[in-house]
Amino acid sequence: MTLAFHRPSSIADAAKLLAGAEDGKFLAGGMTLLPTMRQRLADPSDLVDLSSLPGLAMIERTGDGLVIGALTRHADVAGSEVVKAAVPALAALAGRIGDPQVRYRGTIGGSIANNDPAADYPAALLALDATVVTDRREIAADDFFLGTFETALETDEIVTAVRFPIPLAASYEKLRSPASRYALVGVFVARFADGVRVAVTGAGPCVFRSADIEEALASAFEPSALDRISIDASELNSDLHADADYRAHMIMVLTKRAVAAAIAGH
């Protein structure tokens, strides 16, 4: 199959091109799609490059929120003084994604649209109660991540930005693969005036929240509040890197570390 490459100048044109393609794919940073194509795991008929679309690479503080454009690179989030002041845990997370090549090419929109079960950003969106803004609607993070590499996005729907509330405190801790730097287990903890949200990535088929952990921390936001909590390993991943029981154990270890770091303001 001959690959057709398109570089539209507007969101509307990008959506139209993909809708008209036999098997088209949007291209943002390409950090997942291009390796997949090289491995012959994907063979799209068309690539619709979003990198030239105006206004999608931006970071803004808006009152009690933070807005990050979909084409904003991980390195820009990590280095942004605006992000560091509003949600320092988010900047720290971005600075630990992959290696420098990935951070200088990969985008937040591409990461969440791909929804790799070991990616970092999905945990941040879910724990921070973020809203995904697309070219046609707004989707709460709780409704966005559906399963392994599956989201609520329609085939030709384009992520344009992510809107984050500002937490009282937050932190992200992960056990990463030494080769890929993906999260074998990652835990993002965010404390708000009305409660605590905790999201886990890398451990299961899709990023998820833990109601038991959230309830315990809402009662007492301190590591010791988790001493009697355990995670059911039956639905967690087992692979050559770590089995399900180990991942269940590390969820609790990393959550306690994240709570301690959030209390310390790190």
The 10s digit of each residue's pLDDT in 197-255 is: 999 999 999 999 999 999 999 999 999 999 999 999 999 999 999 999 999 999 999 99
CATH of domain 1-49: 3.30.43.10
Residues 6+ apart with CB under 8 A from 248: 203, 230, 231, 232, 233, 236
Burial bucket for residue 40 (CB in 10 Å: 0-12, 13-18, 19+): exposed
Amino acid at 89: A
Q: Do domains 1-49 and 169-264 have the same CATH topology?
A: no
Average pLDDT, the chain: 95
CATH architecture label of 169-264: 2-Layer Sandwich (3.30)
Q: Dig out the tokens for 219 from the structure.
A: 């009662």
118 band by pLDDT with thresholds 50, 70 and 90: very high
pTM of the model: 0.94
- Report pLDDT for 31: 81
Tens digits of residue pLDDT in 128-157: 999 999 999 999 999 999 999 999 999 999
Give the C-alpha separation, 48 to 252, whole Å.
41
Query: Distances from the Cα of 183 to the Cαs of 30, 123, 148, 252, in angstroms?
Result: 19, 10, 15, 15
Domain boundaries, the chain: 1-49, 169-264
